[in-house]
Amino acid sequence: MAAVAATAVPTPPFRADIVGSFLRPAAVKAARKARFEDKTLSTGELKQVEDVAIIDVIRMQEAAGLKAVTDGEFRRAWWHFDFMGMLDGLDIIQREGGGIQFHGTATKADVPVINGPLDFADDHPMLEHFKFVLAHTSVTPKISIPGPSAIHFRVAEDDIHILEYKHDAEAYFDAITRTYNKAVKAFYGAGCRYLQIDDIFFAYLCDPKIRAERKARGEDPDWLIGRYARMMHDAIADRPTDMLIGMHMCRGNFKSTWVAEGAYDPAADAVFNQTGVDIYFMEYDSDRTGGLEPLRLLPKGKKRVLPGFITTKTAVLENLDDLKRKFEAASKYADIDQLGIAPQCGFASTEEGNAITEDDQKRKLELVVRTAEAIWGGV
């Protein structure tokens, strides 16, 4: 009998893709509460609940027709602080008044603090998180981690307790870069060939109010954009040729609210031409995001932009014909062959999740796939 050939795993980039996070199922929320608040559940028991839920969310993504899947970030409370707090030298503490202010609400009071030299440990837990997805899907496993700018942007100067970092900006940037360069290599070693590094603070630094706040602190926001681009570039520059890097940029996502607004113009050149990133997930679901003109700076070639015309913040399902018209408009600035479709953000950048249902989430994913099939003939 002839041997049955193994099915090849699809390789990115894809026309239809996702940012990464999904609404936490009730069982995961209950288990996390029992573990971290009530202290009635062990770490192992929590993992068992998470494992079952992650296999289910992988199957949900596959059934929708996606060729890249994640664990939904079910093992995290935050899209960024969990990863950061698992780094050597960085801790997440609770402090009264320490939450992040969004429009009309604020997050819980978690605060990142640097207490030692930064490093990516060989046993960083998210390596195992990725391996679990790798072992349970027949398509491309992906993991999303926060970008290097998250450390610089989110850690207040008073919370940096390493004097070298506090008094030497370049030493601080270099330490962050080395940490991420090591992380990229470690994920590759774990089998990751599609790593998403979310650097939302490029978009934040396009907001006039945030730019003014940074200037008041003595920081030039345009210089910061360039320095953040260099950090990203240097962190991923020596990755193997068969590893693709995606980057998501949004303006905040917590309980369907946001932080920043403003077009991508101040950051577009740095993002497209200085970071070295392959695939860009760009928020484009509201007037807060500005126009499509920055797409003209995308260099010709293999790079790809996935405009987030499909929102994760509300249940309203976008119209396919309207989406086609938006891509027609986008193609005036970037080659249609260098475009794809993804939701504007994750569905649950924190464990609280957005103000939609799991059914809404499923319909949005199906629309992502239908849009790709209608415009490009496939995902």
Task: Give Dmax (Cα) for the chain.
Answer: 74
Mean pLDDT by 10 residues, the chain (379 residues): 52 95 95 94 97 98 98 92 95 72 54 95 97 98 96 92 94 98 98 95 90 92 97 97 94 60 92 98 85 97 96 92 98 98 90 87 97 97
Distance CA 234, CA 45 (A): 39
Structure tokens at 73: 């970030």
pLDDT of residue 357: 95
Q: How many CB atoms lie within 10 A of CB 322?
A: 9
Domains and their CATH numbers in the chain: 75-376 (3.20.20.210)
pLDDT of residue 287: 81
Mark 118-131 as b/e (b = at least 16 C-beta within 10 Å).
bbbeeebebbebbb
pLDDT of residue 289: 81
The DSSP code sequence of 33-71 is: HHHHTS--S-HHHHHHHHHHHHHHHHHHHHHHT-SEE--
Partners of residue 306 on adjacent β-strands: 281
Q: How many CB atoms lie within 10 A of CB 108?
A: 14
Of residues 276, 250, 246, the one with CA closest to residue 262: 250
In terms of residues, how long is the chain?
379
pLDDT of residue 106: 45
Cβ–Cβ under 8 Å, residues 273 and 297 = yes
pLDDT of residue 313: 86
Residue 336's identity, in one-letter code, is I
Distance CA 85, CA 9 (A): 32
Site of tokens 């504007």: 344
pLDDT of residue 122: 96
**pTM (2 d.p.):** 0.92
Structure tokens at 292: 């499509």
22: Cα separation from own chain's centroid:
12
pLDDT of residue 178: 98
* φ, ψ dihedrals at 313, nearest 5°: -85, -25
Of residues 119, 124, 136, the one with CA closest to residue 187: 124
Cβ–Cβ under 8 Å, residues 360 and 318 = no
CA distances from 288 to 12, 145, 209, 259, 338 (A): 29, 25, 13, 10, 24
Of residues 43, 70, 42, the one with CA closest to residue 196: 70
pLDDT of residue 261: 79
Cβ–Cβ under 8 Å, residues 78 and 350 = yes
Helices 43-64, 125-135: axis angle to 10 degrees equals 50
pLDDT of residue 109: 66
Cβ–Cβ under 8 Å, residues 102 and 255 = yes
Distance CA 119, CA 182 (A): 8
Q: How many helices (H) and strands (E) does the chain have?
A: 13, 11
Distance CA 199, CA 376 (A): 27
Q: Is the peptide bond before 240 cis (omega within 30 degrees of 0)?
A: no
Of residues 132, 118, 40, 53, the one with CA closest to residue 83: 118
